């Protein structure tokens, strides 16, 4: 570790007196919280921990009397060690405010927001307002985005990596700023834009006259050359959503056929799929060409570019951008006479990785939580609505883990509902209603892609019939929308009580395009409360093997356009009050009435083929007999009878 006699280190907490720094280690990099570990000494043997923990502190690297680097953060760990003759040893760990986000986890839903908006809202929620956005490109809103039990930091880091966002920190004596960007090239340089040299000086030792890099190792690695992704959206099911990204400009020294294919790509539209695919390839190749540095130039910081000078290989004398650094320093003078080596002075060194300034860099993808099994949710909708769906029959739900407790149409995205059969305008459908409990699965375990796969009864939604009393019943029973009533198709399978039951709360309509056959083994009863109309397009035939009874409370009209035939085996009897007409199988016709009139508007005939025609009157008049079988004979006898009266 090179010694630099003009360097010194200080550490000042927000409360209390400053410490003397014995040694420090600082690890920092793009898209990761920094961590500063310090060995300290103080004249105070009993420092109150409440003056240190979770409070701000600043570490400063000085060159002579000029501060050249600040590291500001919150104290995450404070430890008291041994007490010597005059001083007590302490250990402290300092991290950014963002690191506190790793202490919180949550289940919650974000809807119709871009990733930058989601991250900004989460930072503001925890009062982290010292941020600066350097985001250049447009980022598409995410319809539905779930923090599925992740820590806030893991969630932010995952979304940022998916979206191609980076973050780093800028330090001041009184604070540190979180910088968000989607373009690593916009993070600036360690000096002015045109003058930011770093010297390469491989031969070291002793007290360095000026900061330099004493080691510069350049590495190229074979990495994925092409990224291909597909996804699926039910709104465009025939489109494969395939996108391809290649690293053509960066593949001079390796084969180009190393393809990585991922499904699903975690996007639903081209406008998101193209940048997602490009970002993923860039992340896979972020160490394909990398320089490893060692030296003692404390100006190097993550994201800042510098110009390398004096390297024997000319093409290395170029602009580079630092990605990650580990700083180490010791200040033996802080121990004074209490420790061996206290006279060695101050030393500082760094190890870093860097890329060429023209190269892009994206953080590696973070694992996305996988929902291992189904979840339970309740169907919700706007106030006063019982059935709430969209054109695809999707519904909205409230998850029990969602602490927002909206319980309305803003509780979730539209969630698809599996049906027993789903065709092109045919199939089966049952829209879950507000208040019902659904079983929610997630496509590929993705918390952002819920789908309702079933429904379940619960205490507030009991089955239609008491169980296990009616365990042999299977039913499809609905509920009248905004009213009382139901429609039902029910099956009873109890031995000896088998039944198919149909209940229509209002109308029942049946359409049969061809034949309909009914076979009833025993009795059938039909009751119509009002009117019945039967229309038969052609022939109607009815066979009754025993008796047939028809009772009409009002009038009955038969209109026959052609012939009307009635065939009776024994007797046909017509009764109307005191009038009776009987037709018997032996050929007799009996007409019994009070009076009768036979009127022929033209001619009239009465013929007997044999025997006599008797006309009798009750009372004093005697009857008469008409002899013969001719019409003239009968006419003569009838005329004689009536003329006699």
Predicted local confidence at residue 208, as pLDDT: 57
Predicted local confidence at residue 614, as pLDDT: 74
CA distances from 469 to 200, 250, 438 (A): 88, 73, 25
Strands 142-151 and 131-134: unpaired
| CA pair distance 115, 159, nearest whole angstrom | 7
Kind and range of the H or E run holding 113: strand 105-113
Q: Is the C-alpha dihedral spanning 134, 140, 143, 146 positive or negative?
A: negative
Residue 388 belongs to some domain of the structure: yes
| CA pair distance 130, 98, nearest whole angstrom | 11
Query: HSE-up of 328 (CA within 13 Å, CB side)?
Result: 9
Predicted local confidence at residue 634, as pLDDT: 59
Determine whether 263 is exposed, middle or buried from the number of CB atoms within 10 Å of its CB (0-12, 13-18, 19+): middle
Predicted local confidence at residue 294, as pLDDT: 97
Predicted local confidence at residue 620, as pLDDT: 56
Q: What is the dihedral of CA 604, 609, 610, 616, to 10 degrees?
A: -20
Residues 409, 458 within the same domain: yes
| CA pair distance 324, 31, nearest whole angstrom | 10
Residue 557 belongs to some domain of the structure: no
| CA pair distance 402, 413, nearest whole angstrom | 13
Parts of the chain with a pLDDT under 70: 1-5, 204-208, 335-344, 611, 617-635, 637-645
Residues 477, 447 within the same domain: no
DSSP-assigned states of every residue in 278-306: HHHHHHHTTTSEEEEEEE--TT--TT-EE
What strands lie across the sheet with 259-262, from one edge to the other? 243-246, 226-229, 259-262
Strands 175-181 and 243-246: unpaired
Predicted local confidence at residue 204, as pLDDT: 57
Select from 115, 143, 104, 117 the least CA-distant residue to 446.
143
Select from 578, 571, 582, 577 the least CA-distant residue to 594.
578
Contacts 24+ apart (CB under 8 A), 459-466: 460/435, 461/435, 461/436, 461/437, 464/488
Residues 85, 18 within the same domain: yes
Predicted local confidence at residue 210, as pLDDT: 84
Residue 546 belongs to some domain of the structure: no
The per-residue pLDDT for range 593-625, each reduced to its tens digit, is 998 888 888 888 877 777 677 777 666 555 555
Among the candidates 397, 429, 462, a domain finishes at 462
Point out which residues pair with 111 in neighbouring strands. 144
Among the candidates 44, 75, 98, a domain finishes at 98
| CA pair distance 213, 306, nearest whole angstrom | 12
Q: Which letter, b or e, does each residue of 453-468 get, where b requires 16 or more Cβ atoms within 10 Å of its Cβ?
A: eebeeeeeeeebeeee
| CA pair distance 315, 332, nearest whole angstrom | 40
Q: In sequence order, what are the residues at sequence separation of 6 or more whose Cβ sits closer than 8 angstroms to the Cβ of residue 306?
A: 189, 190, 191, 196, 197, 198, 299, 300, 319, 320, 321, 322
* Cβ-contact 574, 581 below 8 angstroms: yes
Predicted local confidence at residue 569, as pLDDT: 87
Among the candidates 46, 76, 98, a domain finishes at 98
Instruction: Using DSSP, state whether 632 is helix, strand or coil.
Output: helix
Q: What DSSP character marks residue 639?
A: H
| CA pair distance 474, 479, nearest whole angstrom | 16
Residue 403 belongs to some domain of the structure: yes
| CA pair distance 237, 443, nearest whole angstrom | 15
Q: Which residue range(s) make up the domain with 83? A: 7-98
Residue 547 belongs to some domain of the structure: no
Predicted local confidence at residue 15, as pLDDT: 84
Q: What DSSP character marks residue 577?
A: T
Q: Phi, psi (5° rounding) for residue 115?
A: -60, -45
Domain CATH number, residue 374: 2.40.50.230
Residue 513 belongs to some domain of the structure: no
Residues 443, 493 within the same domain: no
Residues 422, 483 within the same domain: no
Q: Phi, psi (5° rounding) for residue 120?
A: -60, -40
DSSP-assigned states of every residue in 135-179: --S--PPEEEEEEEEEEHHHHHHHHHHHHT-EEEEEEETTEEEEE
* Cβ-contact 460, 437 below 8 angstroms: no
Determine whether 224 is exposed, middle or buried from the number of CB atoms within 10 Å of its CB (0-12, 13-18, 19+): middle
The per-residue pLDDT for range 481-508, each reduced to its tens digit, is 999 999 999 999 999 999 999 999 999 9
Residues 422, 477 within the same domain: no
Select from 287, 298, 411, 406 the least CA-distant residue to 355.
287
CA distance from start to end of the chain: 162
| CA pair distance 347, 207, nearest whole angstrom | 9
Residues 421, 494 within the same domain: no
Select from 260, 318, 261 the least CA-distant residue to 289.
318
Residues 86, 12 within the same domain: yes
| CA pair distance 243, 57, nearest whole angstrom | 48
Residue 592 belongs to some domain of the structure: no
* Cβ-contact 180, 169 below 8 angstroms: no
CA distances from 426 to 125, 204, 415, 423, 489 (A): 48, 81, 20, 5, 20
* C-alpha gyration radius of the chain: 49
Predicted local confidence at residue 451, as pLDDT: 98
Strands 197-199 and 305-309: parallel
Predicted local confidence at residue 211, as pLDDT: 92
* Cβ-contact 465, 501 below 8 angstroms: no
Question: How many domains does the chain contain in total?
Answer: 4
* Cβ-contact 373, 313 below 8 angstroms: no
Give the 3-state DSSP-derived string for 33-78, with helices as H, strands as E and coil as C. Answer: EEEEEEEEEECCCCCCHHHCCCCEEEEEEEECCEEEEEEEEEEEEE
Domain CATH number, residue 48: 2.30.110.50
Residue 458 belongs to some domain of the structure: yes
């Amino acid at each position: 570790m090179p010694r630099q006699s003009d360097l010194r280190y200080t550490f000042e907490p927000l409360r209390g007196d400053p410490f003397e720094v014995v040694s420090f280690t600082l690890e920092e990099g793009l898209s990761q919280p920094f961590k500063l570990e310090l060995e300290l000494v103080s004249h105070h043997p009993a420092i109150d921990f409440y003056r240190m923990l979770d409070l701000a502190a600043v570490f400063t690297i000085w060159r002579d009397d000029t501060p050249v680097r600040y590291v500001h953060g919150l104290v995450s760990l404070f430890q008291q060690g041994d007490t010597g003759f005059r001083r007590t040893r302490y250990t402290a760990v300092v991290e950014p405010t963002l690191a506190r986000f790793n202490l919180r986890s949550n289940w919650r839903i974000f809807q119709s927001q871009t990733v930058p908006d989601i991250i900004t809202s989460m930072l503001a929620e925890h009062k982290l307002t010292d941020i600066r956005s350097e985001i250049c490109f447009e980022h598409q809103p995410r319809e539905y985005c779930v923090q599925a039990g992740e820590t806030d930091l893991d969630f932010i880091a995952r979304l940022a990596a998916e979206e191609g966002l980076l973050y780093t920190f800028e330090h001041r004596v009184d604070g540190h700023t979180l910088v968000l960007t989607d373009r690593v090239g916009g993070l600036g340089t360690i000096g002015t834009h045109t003058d930011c040299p770093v010297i390469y000086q491989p031969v070291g030792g002793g007290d360095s006259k000026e900061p330099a890099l004493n080691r510069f190792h350049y590495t190229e690695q074979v990495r994925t050359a092409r990224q291909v992704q597909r996804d699926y959206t039910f709104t465009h099911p025939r489109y494969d959503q395939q996108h391809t990204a290649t690293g053509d400009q960066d593949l001079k020294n390796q084969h180009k056929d190393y393809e990585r294919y991922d499904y699903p790509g975690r996007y639903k539209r081209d406008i998101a799929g193209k940048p997602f695919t490009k970002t993923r390839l860039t992340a896979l190749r972020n160490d394909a060409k990398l320089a490893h540095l060692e030296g003692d130039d404390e100006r190097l910081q993550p994201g800042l570019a510098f110009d390398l000078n004096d390297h024997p290989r000319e093409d290395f004398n170029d602009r580079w951008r630092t990605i990650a650094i580990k700083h180490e320093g010791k200040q033996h003078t802080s121990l004074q006479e209490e420790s061996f080596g206290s006279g060695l002075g101050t030393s500082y060194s760094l190890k870093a990785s860097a890329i060429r300034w023209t190269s892009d860099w994206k953080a590696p993808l973070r694992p996305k939580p996988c929902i291992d099994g189904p979840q339970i949710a309740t169907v919700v909708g706007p106030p006063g609505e019982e059935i709430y769906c969209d054109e695809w029959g999707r519904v909205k739900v409230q998850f029990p883990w969602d602490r927002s407790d909206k319980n309305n149409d803003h509780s979730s995205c539209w969630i698809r509902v599996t049906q027993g059969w789903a065709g092109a305008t045919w199939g089966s459908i049952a829209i879950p209603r507000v208040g019902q409990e659904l079983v929610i699965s997630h496509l590929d375990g993705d918390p952002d892609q819920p789908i309702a796969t079933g429904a379940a009864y619960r205490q507030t939604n009991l089955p239609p019939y008491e169980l296990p009393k009616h365990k042999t019943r299977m039913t499809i029973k609905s509920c009248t929308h905004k009213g009382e009533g139901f429609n039902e198709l029910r099956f009873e399978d109890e031995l000896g009580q088998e039944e198919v039951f149909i209940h229509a709360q209002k109308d029942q309509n049946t359409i049969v395009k061809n034949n309909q056959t009914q076979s009833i083994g025993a009795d059938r009863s039909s009751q119509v409360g009002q009117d019945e109309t039967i229309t038969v397009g052609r022939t109607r035939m009815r066979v009754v093997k025993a008796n047939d009874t028809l009772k009409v409370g009002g009038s009955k009209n038969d209109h026959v356009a052609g012939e009307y035939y009635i065939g009776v085996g024994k007797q046909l009897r017509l009764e109307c009050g005191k009038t009776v007409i009987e037709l018997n199988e032996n050929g007799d016709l009996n007409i019994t009435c009070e009076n009768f009139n036979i009127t022929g508007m033209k001619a009239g005939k009465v013929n007997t083929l044999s025997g006599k025609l008797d006309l009798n009157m009750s009372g004093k008049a005697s009857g008469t007999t008409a002899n013969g079988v001719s019409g003239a004979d009968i006419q003569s006898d009838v005329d004689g009878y009536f003329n006699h009266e």
